[in-house]
Structure 1
């Protein structure tokens, strides 16, 4: 019905140059089911990621210092069903499976054959970063399906001359603001792509503007929260950029080869080039330009390496068409299938918990994949901290450097629940330690400043992970600070940090 409305409201002056192909469900659905099955089977392996523990401990709210409300809400719902990592990861697995269908639908939209859609589905579904985001519940997990879906809807609006698809894209992007504000960068990249490469039909831009207005209307409550709370997301973005930019910016372009896996690079390069070599794909040229624009934005932001993944997946989907045409002979098909299979196996080994935890210390996986390191050692950390005699004193609190440490203590040291605090991100907005606090057990690096607020701070132990995998917590001190010399409110103010 919406498509019919769009067709009547924005008619092309000429027949469409690209004829969409039907979505090959019999080919695409098995790939989506396979991705879902693999992720669900492996969901219980290793342990909570630090972000999953953080989402679990955040109280329900309209917004937080470092994020909108959606992902913590999902974490609360799933934890209520079962307070285990695998429960949190069910939505992540479903999102990854849904992304397989959306990516294949992009290939179909540009006329991709059944073989091209198979390449899109199996290639993207078992690529490195899609698997990683499908295994752990991150805020970025939902971008895995949202960004390609927005691009699919815009592609339909342009290729079919059906402006109402812009409205649907606006609905998806507007609702996505309740998960991450980063979708605004995607919309900017799309606008740049359309402005540079066209089409520039006035009616089309009118519908695009209407879709943009829908984004603002649907996202208004979340945007109002940001405005009324001093735009905390800008502070978080600035902090991430300050911390990461020097290490991130030089590698953003090379990391494009890693996001889906090196063996799939020729496919998305084909997606970059083919629209400019095929006259009938003239109205697809905005998509490669949008990828260049989002990469440039990610470099400017300097926060994370993977922010351009969603657009890269869409360009990959387009590239599946010429690559599938190239693989017309049996020999070339075997080469293509082997490349996708090898890429999938390597991606699974690096992104998923397929290597036994006991063997991780001797492998390259923890060094390559930080998400693996961040899933290990939390019960042991809680056990070590709970074993410090001072934590059980009547006027003692535990102060951790980061939200992972605080949330791990909440989950795995129930005896300390209610006495664990952290100044990291949204945790600083929660209840402050009691003014009567006399002793602080400080956990983690970066808390040396406590020595100026207490008469004595003594390191009583250092955190160790029995798995032998080095993490952010490995070797971190556990200090007992006594004889407070300043008000506890001053200590709490000093403990605040974002990043």
Structure 2
């Protein structure tokens, strides 16, 4: 007789199946380990070096394009282990593995046995987008973990409410997690609006009458108040970023059509099948009525993100819930007609984990290739080369002139690379008029010389009498600009741009 190693154990006293501890932890642990190893190599990803530069050299309560928690985390890891890519990216790897564990816990809340929990974990571990970015310290890397964590107490409350024993303290936990989400990315506001609309449309409306829900919302606003105040004081620049995202959509995701497809396909092969199946079950199964609001929420978010040409990874945090629903549906079918060879699924499980590992390293290779293409440099650390070249141009100036010189990068990427590179190469204060860097401040009027690094120096010509090449290059290159003709208070607003 063949014994299925994932045969369901008796339910726990609370009515839930036992957690598939070792299979799930193994999948999550292997995934986190592979990401940690992959993250130890290569150069900074473009958003990652911006996070590090913002947190380390420009700490603040908020930023134009994201809340402050990820930059501060990047700065903290660099403080613990300076210049260590492994340390910088370790939180991202742990978050990627942690999201897999939470997806399995979501499945368990919905009634999944150990086998179904394992399948849910595998689906989470083989997601395409998460594997490509899972070793980068960027806000969107932490979003799947945080959204799934946010949904978990909500799902538990809904399950308990359907059983007549709901613990409203779970809604306070929801509020605390919402506040933490708001300190990482503001897209969670869209999730909350969609959840509210969905609860009103399909129920259960009883959750909206719970004082603890609104107390939790108050806690969330309190936790997020520093960055919300920063946004308000600075005119809510995050709202202006939505038009920038839409403008970049054709280049980054193929426009609205590409966004519509990738919003689903980024879940991976197994994940996409389970997401679509889970949404179907949520919409039609009477036993899933308490959770139907999540299907409506996912569809509303999909429609909104396609209509506004949002990033195709904005929906990743919602994948866990329909995946969990689908594996429970498969479990019920299996229980109605048990398969003869339950152990035969194990090769598929192993293959899925191996596929996840290959995707991680593919992501690392894409990271390196994209960065190399950015400046048409074939090898080596681009950030190091940029800082070295600009420092060399800066050091050609007489000492007296260097005291009146600043460095300006054409984009937030080059500005961040120069800021981070200044730890190893002599550079003056670094500025950039692009995106968040434009809000870090302008040079003082003592500065009359600029070493400019970027693609096009034409934006500086109206404000300087002499601009000469200083760093050769096919695309990105450097210039030295002298003879400033206007105060920086007049120049900087003309240079600042979010796009």
TM-score band by shorter chain is 0.7 to 0.9
Aligned to 2:49: 53
SS at match of 1:486: coil
Report deviation, 1:294: 1.4
Pick the aligned partner of 1:280 from 283, 287, 307: 287
Pick the aligned partner of 2:301 from 270, 294, 297: 294
Aligned to 1:388: 393
- The 1:374/1:49 distance shift into structure 2, 3 A limit, reads farther
2:387–2:421 contact (8 Å) kept in structure 1: yes
- The 1:70/1:51 distance shift into structure 2, 3 A limit, reads same
Aligned counterparts of 1:421 and 1:442: Cα–Cα separation in 2: 10
Deviations 1:424-448 (A, max 9, x none): 2332333432323333222113542
In angstroms, what is the RMSD of aligned CA positions? Answer: 3.2
Q: Which moved more, 1:103-112 or 1:20-29?
A: 20-29
Pick the aligned partner of 1:351 from 353, 363, 367: 363
Aligned counterparts of 2:244 and 2:139: Cα–Cα separation in 1: 18
1:103–1:317 contact (8 Å) kept in structure 2: yes
Aligned to 1:412: 421
SS at match of 2:34: helix
Deviations 1:60-88 (A, max 9, x none): 22222222221111112111111222211
SS at match of 1:352: helix
- The 1:417/1:220 distance shift into structure 2, 3 A limit, reads same
Report deviation, 1:376: 5.5
Aligned to 1:239: 244
Aligned to 1:144: 144
Deviations 1:395-445 (A, max 9, x none): 332211112212212222444433321112332333432323333222113
Q: Which moved more, 1:446-455 or 1:288-297?
A: 446-455
Aligned to 2:431: 421
What are the equivalent positions in structure 2 for 1:422-437 lying under 5 Å apart?
A: 422-437=432-447
Deviations 1:70-123 (A, max 9, x none): 111111211111122221111111211221111101111111111111111122
Aligned to 1:21: 17
2:259–2:310 contact (8 Å) kept in structure 1: no
Deviations 1:138-179 (A, max 9, x none): 012221211011112111111111233222111100232122
Aligned to 2:115: 115
Aligned to 1:172: 177
Indicate whether 1:402 and 2:402 are aligned.
Answer: no
Deviations 1:339-380 (A, max 9, x none): 734742552343234x896xx59xxx989x99xx99952212
Aligned counterparts of 1:356 and 1:433: Cα–Cα separation in 2: 32
Aligned counterparts of 2:106 and 2:358: Cα–Cα separation in 1: 25
Report deviation, 1:495: 2.4
What are the equivalent positions in structure 2 for 1:315-354 lying under 5 Å apart?
A: 315-324=322-331, 328=339, 330=341, 333=345, 336-337=348-349, 340-341=352-353, 343-345=355-357, 347-353=359-365
Aligned counterparts of 2:308 and 2:160: Cα–Cα separation in 1: 34
Indicate whether 1:304 and 2:325 are aligned.
Answer: no
Aligned counterparts of 2:372 and 2:388: Cα–Cα separation in 1: 23
2:415–2:430 contact (8 Å) kept in structure 1: yes
2:127–2:268 contact (8 Å) kept in structure 1: yes
Aligned counterparts of 2:221 and 2:28: Cα–Cα separation in 1: 32
Report deviation, 1:300: 3.9
SS at match of 1:135: coil
Indicate whether 1:313 and 2:320 are aligned.
Answer: yes
Aligned to 1:491: 491
Indicate whether 1:220 and 2:225 are aligned.
Answer: yes
Aligned counterparts of 2:260 and 2:347: Cα–Cα separation in 1: 27
1:262–1:343 contact (8 Å) kept in structure 2: no
Indicate whether 1:82 and 2:81 are aligned.
Answer: yes
Indicate whether 1:453 and 2:463 are aligned.
Answer: yes
Q: Which moved more, 1:242-251 or 1:264-273?
A: 242-251
Aligned counterparts of 2:194 and 2:456: Cα–Cα separation in 1: 38
1:248–1:305 contact (8 Å) kept in structure 2: no
1:248–1:304 contact (8 Å) kept in structure 2: no
Aligned to 2:10: none
Q: Which moved more, 1:284-293 or 1:394-403?
A: 394-403
What are the equivalent positions in structure 2 for 1:67-216 lying under 5 Å apart?
A: 67-83=66-82, 84-161=84-161, 162=166, 163-201=168-206, 207-216=212-221
TM-score normalised over the length of structure 2 = 0.83
Report deviation, 1:325: 5.5
Aligned counterparts of 1:132 and 1:335: Cα–Cα separation in 2: 24
- The 1:88/1:383 distance shift into structure 2, 3 A limit, reads same
Q: Which moved more, 1:151-160 or 1:385-394?
A: 385-394
* Alignment size in residue pairs: 463
Aligned counterparts of 2:80 and 2:379: Cα–Cα separation in 1: 23
Aligned counterparts of 1:375 and 1:154: Cα–Cα separation in 2: 47
SS at match of 1:457: strand
Deviations 1:198-247 (A, max 9, x none): 22337766554443343334333432332233222222333333443785
What are the equivalent positions in structure 2 for 1:460-471 lying under 5 Å apart?
A: 460-463=470-473
Aligned counterparts of 1:229 and 1:306: Cα–Cα separation in 2: 27
TM-score normalised over the length of structure 1 = 0.83
- The 1:351/1:321 distance shift into structure 2, 3 A limit, reads farther
SS at match of 1:388: helix
SS at match of 1:455: strand
- The 1:169/1:277 distance shift into structure 2, 3 A limit, reads same
Aligned to 2:275: 268
Q: Where does structure 2 lack aligned partners over 5 or more consecutive residues?
A: 1-13
Q: Where does structure 1 lack aligned partners over 5 or more consecutive residues?
A: 1-17, 465-474
